[in-house]
Amino acid sequence: MLMQARSLRTPFAALLLCAAALATPCLAADVESPQGLLKGQVPDNVAALKRVAIASFIVQYVTDFGIESKGSRSSRGAGDVFYSKWKDPPPELLQATTDALYARLVADLQAAGVEVVAAEQLAAQAPMAELRKVARANPAVVSDSTIRKASTLVSAQGLPLVLATVPDVKLASYATQPIEGTDSANNLMNWDKLASQWLLGSNIELSNLTAIYFSQLKMAESLNATLLNVRLTVPLVDMGITSKLGGLLGGGALFAEASTTGHIKPNPRIVEAGTVFGLAPAGANPGHRHMVALQKPVPITGLKVTPDKDKKSVNAGLFSGSDEKTARSGGLIGALTGAAGVEGAKADFWVSVDTAEFQPALVNAGGTIFKDLAQLLSMAR
């Protein structure tokens, strides 16, 4: 199960901590899961992988997804930015689904012969109180106009919501692409970030890394277990843009208008770059994070996602200067201020989800990943 090492985005401060900490060297084994869904590094300590404590379990529900055209910038001074946004499910369903995913992970680990430390025993650890001091409120809403995303982050079973142990990963390629038949990635703003980043570094608790890593080390040693930190990232749609010039520049009638059209296509999945499993073993260097990451999206089958429309067009008169704006042209205006489903923010596409199907569909998709992880840990050599 050996593989060529893949680099992971690790904050510079963590690298300094890894180099300076007086602890066991950062020994790791490169691994690939039996079904090939997961690759990365695990601690080079086989026994440590047979007993784990789930220290964090976060689901990132990407509730707001945007895409911007380069081609429209010359006619308006700012690109056309099209956004899709979830209407629902309600916050309580997001929490229930996150808890159900956690329970499925525990069951799959135990079925594979991996011992899971009881949640009550983990919660009683003194360092857990230190982690709670630097954790975010649950749920937490994060947004960033650079990568055109807003997300609701939900932590399972009252665990602290800490992101530093499960950052985005860097892969050789990404499955996220513009909708087929729309403008190529070269005509879209920040497409590389849109495809590869689901949270920016500014959303990581950089000022609290020392407290986070040493708290995890202490708990791992006290429990004689490897701490397992989990993040699953769930977007529901793909987007694309088509653009064309009008008037003399476009070869049409003199007063024809330039137009830009945003497109949306339902595509619920657990996405690769944001789905990470971090492992912190007892006795390890606190600054070195062993991590395995999802290598390709896992579809969420059986979940009906319904957009209110599949495209929206805006036109700009080349001579009159008049134009029709997208809902948030120019930036992530009216960013989410609460959990998914807040009706106050604008959007070009509103996406509804069948709430009855939501939890079972996500748990089934998550189980596909968890079983591969459980086999990877139980079969480690």
User: What integer pLDDT is reported at residue 234 of this predicted model?
Assistant: 98
pLDDT of residue 2: 31
Q: Which residues contact 273 (CB under 8 A, 6 or more apart)?
A: 168, 169, 170, 171, 174, 176, 195, 196, 197, 198, 233, 293
In a structure prediction context, what are the per-residue pLDDT tens digits for the chain, which is 381 residues long? 333 333 344 443 443 444 343 334 447 788 999 999 999 988 876 667 889 999 999 999 999 999 988 865 444 445 688 999 999 789 999 999 999 999 999 999 999 999 999 999 999 999 999 999 999 999 999 988 778 899 999 999 999 999 998 999 999 889 988 999 998 887 888 888 888 999 988 888 888 988 998 999 999 999 999 999 999 999 999 999 998 765 554 444 444 457 889 999 999 999 999 999 999 888 766 656 789 999 999 999 999 999 999 999 888 655 545 556 787 654 444 433 333 333 346 899 999 999 999 999 999 999 999 999 999 998 865
pLDDT at position 69: 84
pLDDT at site 262:
93
Output the pLDDT for position 4: 31
pLDDT of residue 47: 66
**Residue 144, pLDDT score:** 81
Q: What is the DSSP letter of 254?
A: T
Positive/negative CA dihedral, 91, 92, 93, 96: positive
Extents of the domains making up the chain: 12-378
Q: Report DSSP letters for 40-71, one per residue.
A: EEEES-GGGGGEEEEEEEEEEEEEEEEEEBST
285 close to 41: Cβ distance less than 8 angstroms? no
Do residues 57 and 75 lie in contact, with contact meaning Cβ atoms separated by under 8 Å?
no
CA distance 75 to 73: 6
